């Protein structure tokens, strides 16, 4: 790093301005993103072994390796950790001391991947310090997690309403990511990129992550198929940032028999990704007279889903060929909760 000089004049000379440019002072704005070089685009660090990124401290386990490699999610670079033999890789710690208030909630996040699908693990958290920058302990917001085989973002909260609380007397923290921490694996490597840290700005539920788009359709829809048919305009697509469950709510102002009077005239259910939800939900309906109307309201939860986009929709079938059922005024919304 180049040395800047200040000339105060009245001292008759210049002094080196080093402390203000130390890595501990290189960070994003206070109280917001606080990880300098969180995408590992700058490096290797001057005076460090080749492959170590600037702004990060690297700690190796016995026989382990942690290095900066190409192939990242954000930009070109990411961090790789593991070892050719049996054992864990190591961990990286941001050199920046980020000021935090233990009474508030903060967000820590990283994208991770295991390219070999062999069960490599990561952990993500924060090393906590007193006002004098004396180490207290490390809190693991994302502890010991088996990696997916595609880049997946994990996000956790640290604070009184978070996944883990700040230790007492915490005034600073440094972000920590542990790369391949399973000592039973042979020759396995974990990858991490785009490490972020910021103060939460709004209230939130600790588990609800994303609301689906509310759908509405007032058109009267006729159903005649004995197999489940899509209720038009009932589909809602929601993207899970990590593995989890989708909860969906549907209401239909009325269904009515148009051509028959049967004890069980039709059934209604919810599909996820063009398959029945598990557990499947179905309502069977009949009516004593044609055109008798009934309302439908129900909530379902899907089976465990992988991260990515998933589609929920409503489907209807008649029980006897030749019958017709009509529905009108469908409403729906969905959200997801993470798996753990």
Question: Which range has the worst mean pLDDT, 143-147, 280-284, 286-290?
Answer: 280-284
pLDDT at 12: 41
When the pLDDT of each residue in the chain is averaged and rounded to a whole number, the result is: 81
What pLDDT does 258 receive? Answer: 85
Q: What is the DSSP string of 213-251?
A: PPEEE-S-EEE--SS-EE-TT--EEEEESSSEEEEEEEE
Mean predicted confidence (pLDDT) in 306-316: 90
**Nearest residue to 197 (alpha-carbon basis) of 37, 23, 339, 72:** 37
What radius of gyration do the chain's Cα atoms show? 28
Q: For 316-337, what is the mean pLDDT?
A: 89
- pLDDT for position 78: 93
Indicate whether this model's pTM tops 0.85.
no
Q: Are 204 and 240 in contact (CB under 8 A)?
A: no
Average pLDDT value for residue range 175-179: 95
Most confident of 43-47, 129-133, 180-184, 283-287: 129-133
Give percent above pLDDT 90 in the chain: 33
**DSSP of 142-154:** EEEEEPPSS-EEE
Q: What pLDDT, on the 0 to 100 scale, is given for residue 172? A: 93
E-state strands within 229-324:
229-230, 236-240, 244-257, 266-272, 275-276, 282-285, 293-301, 308-318
CB 250 within 8 A of CB 297: yes
**Could you tell me if 285 and 268 are in contact, meaning their C-beta atoms sit under 8 angstroms apart?**
yes
| CB proximity list for 217: less than 8 A, separation 6 or greater | 232, 233, 234, 329, 330
The 10s digit of each residue's pLDDT in 215-248 is: 888 999 999 999 999 999 999 998 887 888 899 9
Model confidence at 1: pLDDT above 60: no
Of 92, 59, 88, nearest in space to 78 by CA = 92
Mark residue 132 as left, alpha or beta (left: phi above 0; alpha: psi -120 to 50; beta: remaining).
alpha
What domains are there in the chain, each with its CATH number? 22-199 (2.60.120.260), 208-338 (2.60.120.760)
Residue 17 — pLDDT band, cuts 50, 70, 90?
very low
Q: How does residue 10 score in pLDDT terms, banded at 50, 70 and 90?
A: very low
Q: Average of pLDDT values for 35-58?
A: 76
CA distance 67 to 64: 10
Q: What is the pLDDT of residue 278?
A: 58
Looking at per-residue confidence, does 63 or 128 come out higher? 128
**327 strand-pairing partners:** 221, 255
Tokens representing 231 are 């209720």
């Amino acid at each position: 790093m180049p040395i800047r000089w200040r000339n105060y004049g009245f001292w008759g000379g210049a002094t080196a301005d080093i402390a203000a440019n130390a890595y501990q002072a290189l960070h994003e704005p206070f109280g917001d993103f606080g990880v300098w070089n969180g995408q590992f685009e700058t490096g290797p660090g001057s005076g460090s072994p080749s492959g170590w990124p600037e702004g990060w401290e690297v700690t190796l386990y016995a026989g382990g390796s942690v290095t900066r490699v190409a192939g990242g999610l954000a930009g070109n670079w990411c961090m790789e950790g593991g070892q050719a033999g049996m054992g864990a890789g190591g961990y990286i710690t941001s050199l920046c001391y980020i000021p935090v208030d233990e009474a508030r909630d903060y967000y820590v996040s990283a994208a991770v991947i295991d390219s070999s699908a062999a069960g490599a693990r990561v952990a993500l958290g924060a090393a906590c310090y007193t006002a004098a920058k004396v180490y207290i302990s490390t809190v693991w917001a994302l502890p010991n997690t088996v990696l997916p085989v595609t880049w997946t973002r994990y996000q956790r909260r640290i604070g009184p309403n978070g996944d883990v609380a700040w230790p007492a007397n915490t005034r600073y923290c440094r972000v920590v990511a542990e790369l391949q921490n399973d000592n039973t694996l042979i020759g396995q490597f974990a990858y991490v990129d785009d490490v972020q840290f910021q103060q939460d700005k709004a209230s939130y539920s600790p588990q609800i992550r994303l609301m689906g788009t509310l759908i509405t359709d007032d058109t009267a829809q006729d159903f005649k198929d004995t197999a489940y048919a899509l209720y038009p305009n009932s589909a809602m697509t929601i993207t899970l940032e990590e593995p989890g469950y989708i909860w969906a709510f549907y209401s239909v102002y009325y269904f009515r028999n148009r051509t028959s009077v049967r004890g069980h005239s039709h059934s209604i259910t919810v599909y996820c990704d063009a398959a029945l939800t598990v557990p499947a939900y179905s309502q069977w309906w009949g009516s004593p007279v044609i055109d008798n109307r009934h309302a439908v309201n129900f909530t379902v939860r899907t089976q465990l889903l992988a991260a990515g986009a998933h589609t929920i929709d409503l489907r209807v079938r008649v029980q006897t060929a030749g019958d017709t059922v009509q529905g009108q005024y469908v409403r729906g919304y969905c959200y997801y909760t993470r798996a753990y």
